[in-house]
Amino acid sequence: MSLNRKLATRLLVYGIAIGFALLSAFPFFWMVITAFKANRDLYNPTNNPFLFNEPPTLDHIRLLFFNTPYVRWLGNTSLVGIIVVLITVVLAVPAGYSLARLIGRWGERLAIMIFLAYLIPPTLLFIPLSRVISLLGLQDSLWSLVLVYPSFTVPFCTWLMMGFFKSIPLELEDAALVDGCSRLGALVRIIFPISISGILTTVIFAFTLSTQEFVYALTFISSSAHKTISVGVPTDLIRGDVFYWGSLMAAALLPSVFIALIYNAFLDRFIAGITGGALK
């Protein structure tokens, strides 16, 4: 390839990548601008919206944190997330190991069935589940989410853990077994300790999946005090017809960036989980 063509290719690659990055990130950039803009500036259509025509303000942030249940929603979301993570780890880690090593021929088929359960969308089941929740007396309670969220985190994380366990060399367990460990002993003493990074992936994805969830939370939770951020922000920060855009954007920005950062760090494992054998 001539130097000129190389340069042209390089420019094209940069152009495409930067163009898409701008498109992807623009709403978040816009949230930042809006969150710090004084109302008088925000609601003046003749102003250039990209500039701070008035000095930036912390009013929206203050309103969000001190005059709305936002902090409470953050707390609710974290609480649900943490308990869901615990349930998911307890159920999915042993299940993943079992599918990878113990079940044998059936493992493969069962694993795919379990993975397909991850594809069952909340919008297919939210109506019957809303009745189950009210039968259990859990309507408008965070426990309804704690109960239901593992139905999609467990299949996904079982699949991830199965892939992870398959990547551990068999010799390691065999050595332990030969040394007189029982299978369970080998698991607890050898396998689980070296699987910490795999389990951490499960923790991250169970947490992000439960934070992103919208439909179940919208259906089961009605009072403001029990909402999660995903539902509280789009439904409760709008009073009648009045949108508190500055506060809304700040409210949307914080969790989005937080989740995107942890997500990004574990992206490769997510991809490996999703694509699995289609790459081989």
Partner 1 sequence: MEAVAPKPQVRRFDFRHVVDSERLLGILMLAPAVLFVFLLTGVPFFYAIYLSLNTTIAGRFDYSFVGLQNYIDILQSSLFRRSLANTFIFTIISQVLVLVLAKILALALANQFRGRNLLRFLILLPWAAPIALSTIGWKWMFDSQYSVVNWLLRALHIIGPYDFPQWLGEPHLAMAAVIFVHVWRMLPFATVILLAGMTSIPQDVMDAAAVDGANFWTRLVHILIPLMLPIMSVALLFGVVFTFTDMGVVYVLTRGGPPVNATHVLASWAFQIGIISNDLGQGAAISLFLFPVLLIASIFMLRLASRTDVGV
Stretch of 13-21, 51-59, 68-76, 195-203 contacting partner 1, by CB under 8 A: 13-21
Interface with partner 1: number of residues (CB under 8 A): 104
Site string for partner 1, 57-86 (x = CB under 8 A): ------------------------------
Give residues 129-148 in contact with partner 1 (rule: CB under 8 A). Answer: 129-132, 134-135, 147-148
Give residues 217-236 in contact with partner 1 (rule: CB under 8 A). Answer: 218-219, 229-231, 233-234
- Phi, psi dihedral angles at 90 (to 5 degrees): -60, -40
d(Cα 264, Cα 262) in Å, to the nearest integer? 5
Is residue 222 within 8 Å of 139, Cβ to Cβ?
A: yes
Asked if 117 is part of the footprint of partner 1 (rule: CB under 8 A), the reply reads: yes
The two three-digit tokens of residue 214, written as one number: 């919208």
Q: Which is nearer to partner 1, 62 or 128 (CB)?
A: 128
Among residues 52, 65, 143, 263, the one that binds partner 1 under rule CB under 8 A: 263
Is residue 248 within 8 Å of 180, Cβ to Cβ?
A: no
Q: Tell the residue number behind the tokens 């990209």, with chain if given.
A: 50
Tell me how far, at minimum, the Cβ of 67 lies from partner 1, in Å: 18
Q: Tell the residue number behind the tokens 């259990």, with chain if given.
A: 136
Give residues 26-55 in contact with partner 1 (rule: CB under 8 A). Answer: 27-28, 30-31, 34, 42-43, 45, 49
Show Cβ contacts of residue 1 under 8 Å, excluding neighbours closer than 6 positions.
9
Closest CA to 153 of 120, 192, 188: 120
